Amino acid sequence: MKLPYAEPFKTKMVESIRLSSKSERQDWIEKAGYNLFNLHSDQVFIDLLTDSGTGAMSDKQWGALMTGDESYAGSSSYFRLKNTIKSLTGFDYFLPTHQGRAAENVLFSAILKEGDLIPGNAHFDTTKGHIEFRKAHAVDCTVRSAYDTESPDPFKGNIDLNLLEDVLKNNPIEKIPVVIVTLTCNTTGGQPVSMENLKGVYHLTQKYGTRVFFDSARFAENAYFIKEREEAYRNITIREIIKEMYTYADGMTMSSKKDGIVNIGGFIAFKEKDWFEKATTYNIMFEGFITYGGMAGRDMNSLAQGLMEATGYEYLESRISQVAYLGKKLTDYGIPVQKPYGGHAIFVNAGKFLSKVPREEFPAQTLAIELYLEAGVRAVEIGAIMADRDPDTKKNRYPELVMVRLAIPRRVYSNNHMDVVAAALSNIYERRDQITRGVKILKEAPILRHFTVKLAPVEKNTE
């Protein structure tokens, strides 16, 4: 018999969690303005809000923390991290930042102007936020299959190269300073980008005289999918795949809170010195001196260790198998989810699940609230609330796909927890026809509204 996979680690320390009663949850969610970001963590049983900064560090990472060098300038922890980034990606220049959006802020401050176009594969919300804040435009060039949850396309994070070429060809190239490819593509369901596609994007940016950066929050998970799904890479190691991936980029922004397996941190890395030098000024202004940016020395040390752990095959296999385990359970219950299963999360097709809730009443948010009430599971809406309003028309944008993301923290939950999540969703699925009304917005911020929005049920459901 082939042995089943098992996690390549065991537990050394535990943290208690508690399942509350339904009436407690009803009270808490009302007080939270029906916004799951406003819940206190002890009001949550299984927290799948995000895989960002929520992973469990290893004993080696905690050990590295103790030997961090807190020197303001020239810290040895900075050089340890710089060498690790160089060995994984080949990039010579790097700037530490306090998290991914800080990397975006610094990079875009250096290179973006009003009216610029930034093509990419369904930019993450903070990326889009930073682009639109500068009155530039994010142009979505994702392949069409990404928006059909039943399509078996193995690379639904890919860029449609024809669409990208149209954008590059039909606009003055000085208005397109960079193309951003997100690895894996969070917005379409943690979906990977193939090596062939990365190569194709790089070729086009070279042809038209612009650059490409990878938003690399989940670069290791992307490399695992390349190994699993792209024939030519089956016998190549994860780290060799990563090295090749970055030969097709001019640089990267990184949220280390994902595939760095640390609780806070980020960085920007560059192939060329020119943008590094431009960005350095902004890094010093917004983040800190170049040898620590927004990070403590100890955090750079544990990030260097985390990056090596996150790029190990056995770790990635157990990580992505757990995500697939949840995906398969939900599929077995008949629940519509994005397929193939992604790298960090399962995305439930909420529009299809709650087909009776009108899009103006936010079916994905409605489902996330139901899931919390059912079992104390916190997920996140990837729908019209997150898509926000069009910056020009100020009207709500209604994405084709509205989803609830069940993001799985790294090395934190067992498959028993996944069973609870799946059972809770199954219970809701059985009574889905009785859920006909959603929520309305009472108060919203001018940008990135989903974090602070206040909501109320439109009216009581007819159940």
Catalytic annotation, residues: 72, 124-125, 215, 217, 258, 450
In the complex, residue closest to ligand F0G by CB = 100
Does 50 interact with ligand F0G (rule: CB under 6 A)? yes
In whole angstroms, the minimum distance from the beta carbon of 177 to ligand F0G comes to 18
Does residue number 77 form part of the binding site for ligand F0G (CB under 6 A)? no
- Shortest distance (Å) from residue 65 CB to ligand F0G: 19
Closer of 50 and 365 to ligand F0G (Cβ): 50
With H, G, I as helix, E, B as strand and everything else as coil, classify residue 96. Answer: strand
Q: In whole angstroms, what is the distance from residue 255 CA to residue 123 CA?
A: 14
Cα separations in angstroms, 88 against 270, 379, 390: 13, 32, 38
Per CB under 6 A, 82 contacts ligand F0G: no
Among 82, 101, 211, 271, binds ligand F0G (CB under 6 A): 101
Q: Judged by CB under 6 A, which of 182, 222, 305, 366 binds ligand F0G?
A: 182
Residue 395 DSSP code:
P
- If one asks whether residue 205 binds ligand F0G (CB under 6 A), the answer comes out as no
Residues near 5 by beta carbon (within 8 Å), at least 6 away in sequence? 317, 318, 321
Calpha distance 280→166 (Å, rounded):
33
Among 94-102, 139-147, 362-370, 412-420, the segment contacting ligand F0G (CB under 6 A): 94-102
Q: Is residue 266 involved in binding ligand F0G (CB under 6 A)? A: yes
- Residue count (the chain): 463
Task: Return the percent helix, strand and coil in the chain, to nearest 5.
Answer: 45, 15, 40
Q: Which residues, 125 to 144, sit near ligand F0G by CB under 6 A?
A: 126-127
Does residue 156 touch ligand F0G according to CB under 6 A? no
State the virtual CA torsion across 81, 82, 87, 89 in degrees, nearest 10: 110
Closest to ligand F0G by CB, 124 vs 233, is 124
- Provide the token pair at 373: 């009430």
Q: How far is the CB of 270 from ligand F0G (least distance, A)?
A: 17
Instruction: Candidates 89, 191, 255, 322: give the one binding ligand F0G (CB under 6 A).
Output: 255
Kindly tell me the burial class for residue 318, based on how many C-beta atoms sit within 10 Å of its own C-beta (0-12, 13-18, 19 or more): middle
Q: Rounded to the nearest whole angstrom, what is the least distance from the CB of residue 10 to ligand F0G in the complex?
A: 27
Q: Is residue 257 at the binding interface for ligand F0G, with CB under 6 A as the rule?
A: yes
Count of residues that bind ligand F0G according to CB under 6 A? 15
Strand partners, 214: 181, 252
Q: State the CB neighbour count (10 A cutoff) for residue 373.
A: 17
Query: Quick one: 210 or 255, whose CB is closer to ligand F0G?
Result: 255
C-alpha gyration radius of the chain: 21
Residue closer to ligand F0G, measured from CB, 128 or 227: 128
133: enclosing H helix or E strand:
helix 125-133
* Cα-Cα-Cα-Cα dihedral sign, residues 409, 412, 416, 417: negative
User: Should residue 100 be labelled a site residue for ligand F0G when binding is judged by CB under 6 A?
Assistant: yes
Cα separation, 62 vs 90, whole angstroms: 26
Q: Is 54 in the site for ligand F0G (CB under 6 A)?
A: no
The verdict on 214 binding ligand F0G (CB under 6 A) reads: no
Asked if residues 285 and 247 have their Cβ atoms less than 8 Å apart, the reply is no
Q: Which of 52, 188, 301, 322 binds ligand F0G (CB under 6 A)?
A: 52
The answer to whether residue 368 forms part of the interface with ligand F0G (CB under 6 A) is: no
Q: Is 456 helix (H, G, I), strand (E, B) or coil?
A: strand
Decide if residue 217 touches ligand F0G (CB under 6 A). Answer: yes
HSE-CB at 402 with a 13 A cutoff on CA atoms is 28
In the complex, what is the shortest distance from the CB of residue 334 to ligand F0G, in angstroms, rounded to a whole number? 27
Looking at residue 142, the DSSP 8-state letter turns out to be B
Q: Which residue in 116, 238, 229 sits closest to 179, CA to CA? A: 116
Which two tokens mark 314? 């056995």
Closest CB to ligand F0G among residues 69, 221? 221
124 lies in the binding site for ligand F0G (CB under 6 A): yes
Candidates 78-86, 123-131, 306-314, 354-362 — which segment interacts with ligand F0G by CB under 6 A? 123-131
Residue 385 is a binding residue for ligand F0G (CB under 6 A): no
Query: Is position 99 an interface residue for ligand F0G (rule: CB under 6 A)?
Result: yes
User: Site residues (CB under 6 A) for ligand F0G?
Assistant: 50, 52, 99-101, 124, 126-127, 182, 186, 215, 217, 255, 257, 266
